[in-house]
Amino acid sequence: MQLYNNLSAKERAELIEKAGKERLTISFYKYTKIGNTQIFRNHLFLAWDEFDVLGRIYVAHEGINAQLSVPAEIFEAFKNHLDTIIFLEDVRLNIAIEHDNFAFLKLKVKVRQKIVADGLNDETFDIRNKGVHVNASKFNELIEDPNTVLVDMRNHYESEIGHFKNAVTPDVDTFRESLDIIEEDLKDHKEDKNLVMYCTGGIRCEKASAYYKHKGFKNVFQLDGGIINYVREVESSELENKFIGKNFVFDERRSERISDDVIASCHQCGKPADLHTNCANGACHLLFIQCDTCKEKMENCCSKNCMETNRLPFEEQKAFRKGQGNSNDVFKKGRADHLSYKKDLRNIFDTFLKE
């Protein structure tokens, strides 16, 4: 019984290219109680491997968080399979705006403590007591209300390339960091402001809205289905699109373009750019924004040192980094000290609330 991948990413990519069939990139999540997570994980792997599903799936006692690539021709069959799992029946499937057959190259189903790392003690509040889910139309109406504080629940490197107009974008590296910062900065507005939140697909807002209601916020709202679903509703209902730039995604595509606006800058030269890349030096792998000119000049690397290292024969590179982990810069995601035009730190809440 095979419960793990036996093909490399390169081998899988070759098979996908040879097949020449369209694949759909989808995501979904569900907060629910899962007893034996390992058994459920194994069941999913066996079933989804048969469907030729690829992707990254986290299973925890609190639920499931899935980002997948599914052959378009078996999408309905896959959806019918999900409906056979009681707590996934009619689960919302967020279908990507842009598709890439190579978005995922392996099927990874992992058991985790949490489906999103939030650092919260779930025993202290009721996750079922969530904020009000609003569709794109109501969301557009709410964020024009001067009594609303619109908060981006994503990390700095996500909001840097795209966000809603007039949104507060906390300068944080992780979701767990943002929770306390937002509560502290808005502590004097728990009753007199509408707290409206959004994220990529809705999963972070689902937990955050219940947490903030527990913390005493009276008027809590969340964008139903996140940015992905918002864009589809805007297009189908011919609403005004209030999102500017690109939506960051956690697969090989790295982003989906929502509007023509380029609101970010190359971290190396400062010219307008909004395409994230990983440093080609395997011992660094830093995620940062790089324009096409710098990509060519720096050979897809974030620094001259990385460029020189990456030029070494592969075996020399392996020997050079033997016994060493990746550079700590990898966790800074675009804020490494050697990047001249990295995002500035600032207290954006103070600026917003004073306006």
Do 234 and 126 lie in one domain? The reply is: yes
Same-domain status, 84 and 164: no
Same structural domain for residues 142 and 228?
yes
CATH of the domain at 166: 3.40.250.10
Do 81 and 150 reside in the same domain of the chain? no
Q: What is the DSSP string of 301-341?
A: -SSHHHHHHHHS-HHHHHHHTTT----GGGGTSS--TT-TT
Element (H, E) at 292: helix 292-297
- First and final CA of the chain: distance in angstroms? 61
Torsions phi, psi for 151 (to 5 deg): -120, 130
Same domain, 152 and 91: no
| Whether residue 128 sits in one domain with residue 101 | no
Residues with active-site annotation: 199
In a domain, 288, yes or no: no
If 0-12 CB within 10 Å is exposed, 13-18 middle and 19+ buried, where does residue 232 land? middle
164 and 72 share one domain? no
Q: Residue 22's pLDDT is what?
A: 95
Q: Are residues 133 and 192 in the same domain?
A: yes
Q: Are 51 and 9 in contact (CB under 8 A)?
A: no
- In whole angstroms, what is the distance from residue 17 CA to residue 21 CA? 8
In a domain, 165, yes or no: yes
What is the pLDDT tens value at each position of the chain, 355 positions in all? 567 777 888 889 998 999 999 999 999 999 999 999 999 999 999 999 999 999 999 999 999 999 999 999 999 999 999 999 999 999 999 998 888 899 999 999 999 999 998 888 888 888 889 999 999 999 999 999 999 999 999 999 999 999 999 999 998 888 989 999 999 999 999 999 999 999 999 999 999 999 999 999 999 999 999 999 999 999 999 999 999 999 999 888 889 999 999 999 999 999 999 999 999 998 888 999 999 999 999 999 999 999 999 999 888 877 777 766 555 555 567 788 889 887 765 545 554 554 5
Domain shared by 167 and 202, yes or no: yes
Statement to judge: residues 172 and 85 lie in one domain: no
Domain assignment present for 47: yes
Given this model, what pLDDT does residue 316 score? Answer: 80
On whether residue 48 sits in a domain, the answer given is yes
User: Do 107 and 126 belong to one domain?
Assistant: no
Mean pLDDT of all residues in the chain?
A: 90
Query: Does residue 134 belong to any structural domain of this protein?
Result: yes
Predicted structure pTM score: 0.86
Domain boundary residue among 59, 79, 111? 111
In 3D, which of 138, 148, 129 has the Cα closest to residue 195? 148
Q: Is residue 82 part of a domain?
A: yes
Q: Is 164 within a domain?
A: yes
Domain containing 59 — which CATH number? 3.30.70.100
Q: What is the pLDDT of residue 332?
A: 66
Q: Is residue 346 part of a domain?
A: no
The residue out of 192, 208, 239 marking a domain boundary is 239
Number of domains making up the chain: 2
Residue 227, domain extent: 122-239
Phi/psi class of residue 20: alpha, beta or left (left: φ > 0; alpha: ψ in -120 to 50)?
left
Question: Each residue of 77-127: pLDDT tens digit?
Answer: 999 999 999 999 999 999 988 888 999 999 999 999 999 988 888 888 888
158, 114 Cβ separation under 8 angstroms: no
